[in-house]
Amino acid sequence: MAGLLMSPLLLGVQASIQNPEVLPTPPMGFNNWARFMCDLNETLFTDTAQSMVSRGLLDAGYDRLILDDCWMRKERAADGSLEADTVKFPHGIPWLADYMKSNGLKLGIYEDAGNLTCGGYPGSYGYEKQDAELFASWGIDYLKLDGCNVWAEEGRSLREEYRVRYSGWHDVLSALPTPLIFSESAPAYFSDNASDWAVVMDWVPSYGELARHSTDVVVYEGGDGWDSIMNNYDFNTLLVRYQQPGYYNDPDFLIPDHPGLTKDEKQSHFSLWASFSAPLIISAYIPDLSDEDIAVLSNKALIEVDQDALAQQAALVSRDGTFDVLSRSLSNGDRLLTVLNRGAATATTTVSLARLGLSSESDCQYAARDLVTGEEVNVDSDFEIKLDSHATVVYRIALPESCAKTIPTGMVFNTPSGLCLTASTDQSVTFEKCSASDSQVWNVAATGDGSDVTLRPLSDATVCLAVGDNGELSLAQCEGAASTAWEHLVTGHLRNTLADGCLARNSGNGGIESCVVDSAAQIFGLPSGVRLAEGDLN
């Protein structure tokens, strides 16, 4: 009976990252939640759609509107179907989806994997197939699936329960004639526990196209906008390794009309999200946005970066308490440099070519364009950067053909503690507060055809991260020492292939331990573009 042994691939279940055509670049559009919460209705959506068309946002790429929680009636119909609230949506949802289509736009919707939505409306638990088919029949092509009111069935941990439900949804959505784009909120329910979070993040790229990974951005008049933006920005910097074409980390909405945000803060929000290739979903009252706000949201050069086919997420090169420096590559070979001044005053910094993984050979000259001002500069050694408080600059750097080689370069940090892997001059390795010194910036180069990488600090190009004869973490000559080969796993583990152990941050020092799933000490963030090893520890 060999015919019964079907492999999962033959069952037609395809992971989203193996099928990036469902969403080849991050979504752009509007969602009502952060601005209006439950006060949504048909007029808000039709007025917003008109405004997106007339103010040029559709032309800029913002082509979808997404209904969030509270769009439905409190009870299902007798046959179990969900029904829209007809006071809020007098013409119904299919009419609204048609309205969007006739304006060149698309409509998305919200549900919940639990018994009730976060707002107390009927959840989809037990009705997954029925609800998915209803949404598809209404002309909806995008589902944001929240995770309120989920309880684990007996014999399962809570994180296993979320996996069962979200993978079930993936199967249901994939089986539709046209699979719905699937926005997963599951990881947001685990972001306060590093090891649970890593395990949940491990599977979300296989089931959906984007994931809301941490806290909701602050709602209108709900608190300090900049603090909330920085909070979500920080969470996103921990997740670089998960993103690839077909799956995008979602640090939540753009909030350009949040009261109190300065011009620089709004620009920074957009520049950082674009550098991440994050979803660009506006939660604001678009008809009343200023022309200046619309111009920020329509910046063509930054949208090109956001929608770049490689979908790399800019990763931290260095962090010193004032400046965050981030970098990534783009599909045409260009390099991106993004610098944010988090401090309270105007300040200056320099970023060397080596920190961007670029060659500084004497004949290498790079043309760099500031993507907000359009200004071009030629650079052959250091970038000199001066930024006002909370301002961000993004340079797109073209590489001459003879200097086109790049090496993933940047911080290697234990993401739960935020501490940086630091090379000492005595060959030892420690975890220290990040200070942006050369001993905390690492070249992470691929070696050979396998999945091995080596880690070499900029402070001493002759040594590499290694495991010593007594199993201790050390720095050894890069050439010839077998113990300098590491594998980076999607869960954040750095496994030494010879010692068969994982890098760990234990009480301030670096060490090697047996690799285990549930250890916050073994989870690391690396530069973007680092090759990942197949498989995981689960």
Q: How far is 513 from 493, CA to CA, in rounded Å?
A: 11
**Closer residue to ligand NAG, CB minimum distance, 214 or 422:** 214
Interface residue with ligand NAG, options 33, 36, 142, 166 (CB under 6 A): 36
- Residue 433, number of CB atoms within 10 A of its CB: 13
How many residues at the interface with ligand NAG, by CB under 6 A? Answer: 13
Please report, for the chain, how many H helices and E strands are present, in that order. 11, 29
**Closer residue to ligand NAG, CB minimum distance, 95 or 125:** 125
**Closer residue to ligand NAG, CB minimum distance, 39 or 292:** 39
What stretch of H or E contains 235?
A: helix 225-237
- Considering only residues 138 through 157, tell me which ones interact with ligand NAG, judged by CB under 6 A: 151
- Rule CB under 6 A: say whether 195 interacts with ligand NAG: yes
Q: Name the segment binding ligand NAG (CB under 6 A); options: 35-43, 51-59, 138-146, 476-484.
A: 35-43
Letters for 102-131 (x = contact with ligand NAG by CB under 6 A, - = none) are -------------x---------xx-----
Shortest distance, position 388 Cβ to ligand NAG, whole Å: 34
Letters for 248-277 (x = contact with ligand NAG by CB under 6 A, - = none) are ------------------------------
Backbone dihedral angles phi then psi of residue 310, each to the nearest 5 degrees: -75, -25
What separation in angstroms does the CA of 308 have from each of 28, 75, 206, 271?
13, 43, 21, 14
- Rule CB under 6 A: say whether 518 interacts with ligand NAG: yes
**Closer residue to ligand NAG, CB minimum distance, 190 or 395:** 190
**Closer residue to ligand NAG, CB minimum distance, 75 or 376:** 75
Q: Name the segment binding ligand NAG (CB under 6 A); options: 2-10, 38-46, 239-247, 256-264.
A: 38-46
The amino acid occupying position 276 is F
Q: Name the segment binding ligand NAG (CB under 6 A); options: 40-48, 72-80, 316-324, 388-396.
A: 40-48
Q: Which residue is nearest to ligand NAG (CB)?
A: 39
Shortest distance, position 65 Cβ to ligand NAG, whole Å: 14
Strands 210-212 and 248-250: parallel
Q: Name the segment binding ligand NAG (CB under 6 A); options: 190-198, 300-308, 362-370, 503-511.
A: 190-198
- Residue 392, number of CB atoms within 10 A of its CB: 23
**Residues labelled as active-site residues:** 146, 202
Q: How far is 292 from 283, CA to CA, in rounded Å?
A: 16
Strand positions, DSSP E, 354-513: 366-370, 376-379, 382-387, 392-398, 409-410, 413-414, 419-423, 429-432, 442-446, 453-457, 463-467, 473-477, 486-488, 494-496, 501-506, 509-513
**Closer residue to ligand NAG, CB minimum distance, 151 or 375:** 151
Name every residue whose Cβ is closer than 8 Å to that of residue 160 and which is 6 or more positions away in sequence: 152
Shortest distance, position 40 Cβ to ligand NAG, whole Å: 6
- Rule CB under 6 A: say whether 59 interacts with ligand NAG: no
- Residue 362, number of CB atoms within 10 A of its CB: 8
**Closer residue to ligand NAG, CB minimum distance, 196 or 308:** 196
What's the burial of 46, exposed, middle or buried (CB within 10 Å: 0-12/13-18/19+)? middle
b or e along 98-110 (b: 16 or more beta carbons within 10 Å of the residue's beta carbon)? ebbeebebbbbbb
Q: What is the DSSP letter of 116?
A: B
Contact residues for ligand NAG (CB under 6 A)?
Answer: 36, 39, 41, 43-44, 115, 125-126, 151, 193, 195-196, 518
